[in-house]
Each structure stands twice: as structure tokens, then as C-alpha cells.
């Protein structure tokens, strides 16, 4: 099969000839274990201490060989479980095995970490391999510690900041992801000033999502999104005074809104093969990374093959894949028909549709209203202001 990035999205069932998008992101689960116990976490196995073995890493390298890439270097995110609970020598061996086993493919590794375990030795590994580091921190202590707690329910803020200090000591650039919960909405100035002084190169604002075993979001008790919109409006204003920090949601949406007509806005997590997610046992899924640990009445487990035994042909022939992809296409078609934001969204995030609507074949979710529509409206207002029509 010739991989391609072209898709017929009006179908409401999986087409017979599924074409794969070039691979842009590989998400690997080194361990199920997380050293903390955030109240909004969607992962069900985070207390279990299982780890990917060397044979699985080598099988992943074989699985990847020859795959077309979206960019010259493949981004590999080590995520889901806390990646730094696996030892440094695991990564030394894994990075080498991927590089030699999938040559001439080249990799850019990323850790998305809670930051608490960062030491001088981790910093040396990070520098040696030019690993990109993303730290999960929700804002100042009171806001962060409201949800990001350990198993004794103690806040983790000081321990995260010790890790951030290590990164700074070693001159390692880092980005941050903050999860916005109800606790943050009353304090946009505190949140932004905190991120501004932290030294991150980019701030990403995730909304707390109803996803996985986190059945409801604190933001869903909100006032129809008004306080959320007020929050991001204020954040945008504060960021305007210091545009050197990239603000992922604003800058990404601005990019969509100012793209030339006809530019591709399809989300990677709707495209088969654009994101590949592999768990520590070698099970493979595509679309949203969050699906890897989910089991659902209609779709079962999202394990459509295993790197030890299967290739892409087996995965896209799997009945579970075909059912999921057919429903994802149906949902995108409904979005295109019904939603004024389709041109900047592309039909949304499958894992959020599943969590909130119980199916991929649906449209609007709270995630859409907050993470897509509210940001789009704000950026449109900004653009109108810039050209003098508001």
C-alpha cells in the first residue's frame, strides 16, 4: 500500500482502502506507574508498576521501519504513567535501540513529566539526547495543589519546583502544560504571572476533561462557559504584554484562522497513522493517544495489533479499527454539516467525543465549547480589532 495524506471524509463507514497519513507523532508508554495521584487523571492503571521491556522497544523499531514521516525527525513522546519513574538506563538503552533498529529514521524524544524526579543525572541524559521536556504544572501553589497531589493527598508543588530548578541550573529549555480547573478561573492574573516568571518557552492550557476514569470535569459545573471565556480573555491580554512566551492555544488558533484558504485543518488524531500509540506490552492504536488505556462497550479495547506480531495491514484490517474509523468519519461528516467552527477544528477530538457522547459519531462536546470555540471567538475578536472592524 502506498501511504498518503489524502482522505475522503464524507464516508460514514470505513472505506475499503484505508490510506495512512504520514506519521507525525509516536506516543510510547514506558510504564503504567505514576508517583502521584492527580484528582483529574484519566489513567486507570497508574498504581501498577509495569515497564516496557527491551524486546518490545526493538519490536517497535522494526514496526517503524520504512514508515513515511511528516517531518524529517519523528517526535517520540514518552508519556502515560510518569516517564521518569522508569530508570535512566532504560532510556539510554531504548534511545539506542530505536535509533539503530529503525535507521535511517531519526528521532526527537520528549518527556511529558510531573517534574518531581528530575535530578542532575536526568538533566545529563536530557542534554546528551536533546530531549524536549514538558512539565505539568497548573499554576501557583494553591491552584496546583488543589488537584496535583500524591497518594497521601499532599500537594506536590514544592517538589515540582525543585525539578524545575534543576532544569534551570542546567540551562535546559522546557515548556509547561497547565490543566485549567474551576480553581484557576478566578485568578487569571496569578496564573499568568506565575507562568511568566517560571521561565518556560511555551505555555499550553489544557481544559480539565471528562475522559477515561475522570468521569466529570470541574468546569462542567460552570456558568455556560462565561467565566472560562473571561479567564482566557484576561490571559490573552496579559500575554499581549509579553509575546515572547508562546501560548499554544492562542497561537495555534491564530495560525488556523490566518491560514490561506483551503489549508488543511484536519486534526492528526482523526487521521489513521498520523499518531501511533504503543503501550508497554506493544499493543498499537492510532487516533487519540488517550484511547490506548480505554475499554468501551461498543469498541472494546483499542488494541488493534501488537508490534511483536502485526504490521499496519493487520491493524487496519482489524474489525475494531474499522468500526472506530467508520464512526470517526461519520462524526467528522456531522461536524462539517452542523458546526460553524469546522474550518478551524476539522471535526474534533475522538477521545473527547467518546468520553462525553459515548460514540465517535457525534459532534459538540464541552471540550469543543471551551478548548476550540472559546479560543476561536477570542482570536477572531483580536483579529477584527487589529484590522479595525470592532
- In the complex, the residues that contact ligand SF4 under the rule CB under 6 A are 335, 339, 341-342, 345, 347-348, 363-364, 368, 372-373
Q: Who contacts 99 (Cβ-Cβ below 8 Å, separation ≥6)?
A: 106, 107
Among residues 185 and 335, whose Cβ is nearest to ligand SF4? 335
Nearest Cα to Cα of residue 379 among 348, 345, 354: 345
Closer residue to ligand SF4 in complex, CB, 94/345: 345
Residue 135 or 335 having the CB closest to ligand SF4: 335
Cβ-Cβ contacts under 8 Å for 269 (sequence gap 6 or more): 275, 287, 288, 289, 349, 350, 351
Task: Pick between residue 115 and residue 362 the one whose CB is nearest to ligand SF4.
Answer: 362
Q: Other C-beta atoms within 10 Å of 332: how many?
A: 27
- Could you tell me if 145 and 155 are in contact, meaning their C-beta atoms sit under 8 angstroms apart? yes
Q: In angstroms, give the least distance from the CB of 267 to ligand SF4.
A: 9
Q: Which helix (H) or strand (E) holds 280?
A: none
Write the CA distances from 83 to 134, 237, 289, integer angstroms. 11, 35, 15
Question: Is the Cβ of residue 293 or residue 331 nearer to ligand SF4 in the bound state?
Answer: 331
SS3 of residue 165 by DSSP: helix
Please identify which residue in the block is written with the cell numbers 495555534: 252
Residue closer to ligand SF4 by CB (options 202, 343) is: 343
Q: What minimum distance in Å lies between the beta carbon of 351 and ligand SF4?
A: 12
Strand pairing report for 25-28 and 73-78: parallel
User: Whole-number minimum distance, CB 231 to ligand SF4, in Å?
Assistant: 19
Toward ligand SF4, which CB reaches closer, 90 or 341?
Answer: 341
CB closer to ligand SF4, 135 vs 219:
219
Minimal CB distance residue for ligand SF4: 348
Among 263, 213, 201, smallest CA distance to 40 is for 213
41 DSSP 8-state letter: -
Closest approach of ligand SF4 to the CB of residue 363, in Å: 4
Instruction: Give min distance, CB of 372 to ligand SF4, in A.
Output: 4
CB count within 10 Å of CB 72 equals 8
Q: CB 364 → ligand SF4: shortest distance, Å?
A: 4
> Which CB atom, from 339 or from 355, has the smaller least distance to ligand SF4?
339
- Whole-number minimum distance, CB 214 to ligand SF4, in Å? 20
Shortest Å, Cβ 135 to ligand SF4: 28
Q: Give min distance, CB of 345 to ligand SF4, in A.
A: 3
Residues 6+ apart with CB under 8 A from 92: 125
Cβ within 8 Å of residue 220, ≥6 positions away: 210, 366
Element housing 174 (H / E): strand 174-180
Amino acid at each position: 500500500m502506498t501511504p498518503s495524506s489524502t482522505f475522503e471524509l464524507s464516508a460514514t463507514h470505513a472505506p475499503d482502502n484505508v490510506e495512512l497519513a504520514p506519521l507525525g507523532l509516536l506516543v510510547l508508554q514506558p510504564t503504567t506507574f505514576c508517583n502521584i495521584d492527580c484528582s483529574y487523571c484519566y489513567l486507570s492503571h497508574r498504581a501498577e508498576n509495569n515497564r516496557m521491556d527491551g524486546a518490545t522497544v526493538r519490536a517497535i523499531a522494526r514496526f517503524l521501519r520504512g514508515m513515511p514521516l511528516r517531518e524529517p525527525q519523528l517526535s517520540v513522546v514518552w508519556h502515560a504513567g510518569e516517564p521518569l519513574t522508569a530508570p535512566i538506563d532504560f532510556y539510554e538503552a531504548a534511545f539506542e535501540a530505536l535509533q539503530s533498529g529503525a535507521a535511517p529514521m531519526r528521532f526527537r524524544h520528549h518527556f511529558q513529566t510531573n517534574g518531581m524526579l528530575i535530578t542532575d543525572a536526568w538533566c545529563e541524559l536530557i542534554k546528551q539526547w536533546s530531549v524536549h521536556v514538558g512539565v505539568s504544572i497548573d499554576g501557583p501553589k494553591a491552584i496546583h495543589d488543589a488537584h496535583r497531589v500524591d497518594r497521601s493527598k499532599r500537594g506536590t508543588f514544592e517538589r515540582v519546583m525543585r525539578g524545575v530548578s534543576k532544569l534551570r541550573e542546567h540551562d535546559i529549555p522546557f515548556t509547561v502544560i497547565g490543566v485549567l480547573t474551576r480553581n484557576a478561573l478566578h485568578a487569571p492574573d496569578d496564573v499568568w504571572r506565575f507562568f511568566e516568571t517560571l521561565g518556560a518557552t511555551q505555555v499550553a492550557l489544557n481544559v480539565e476533561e471528562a475522559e477515561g476514569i475522570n468521569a466529570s470535569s470541574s468546569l462542567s459545573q460552570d456558568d455556560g462557559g462565561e467565566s472560562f471565556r473571561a479567564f482566557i480573555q484576561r490571559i490573552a491580554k496579559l500575554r499581549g504584554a509579553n509575546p515572547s512566551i508562546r501560548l499554544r492555544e492562542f497561537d495555534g488558533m491564530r495560525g488556523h484562522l490566518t491560514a490561506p484558504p483551503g489549508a488543511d485543518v484536519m486534526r492528526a488524531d482523526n487521521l489513521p497513522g498520523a499518531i501511533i500509540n504503543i503501550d508497554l506490552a506493544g499493543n498499537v492504536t492510532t487516533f487519540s493517544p488517550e484511547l490506548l488505556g480505554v475499554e468501551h462497550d461498543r469498541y472494546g479495547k483499542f488494541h488493534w495489533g501488537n508490534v511483536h506480531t502485526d504490521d499496519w495491514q493487520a491493524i487496519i484490517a482489524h474489525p475494531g479499527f474499522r468500526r472506530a474509523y467508520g464512526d470517526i468519519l461519520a462524526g467528522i461528516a456531522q461536524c462539517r454539516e452542523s458546526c460553524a467552527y469546522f474550518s478551524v477544528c476539522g471535526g474534533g477530538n475522538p477521545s473527547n467525543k467518546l468520553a462525553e457522547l459515548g460514540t465517535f459519531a457525534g459532534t459538540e462536546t464541552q471540550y469543543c465549547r471551551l478548548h476550540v470555540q472559546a479560543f476561536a471567538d477570542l482570536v477572531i475578536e483580536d483579529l477584527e480589532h487589529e484590522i479595525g472592524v470592532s
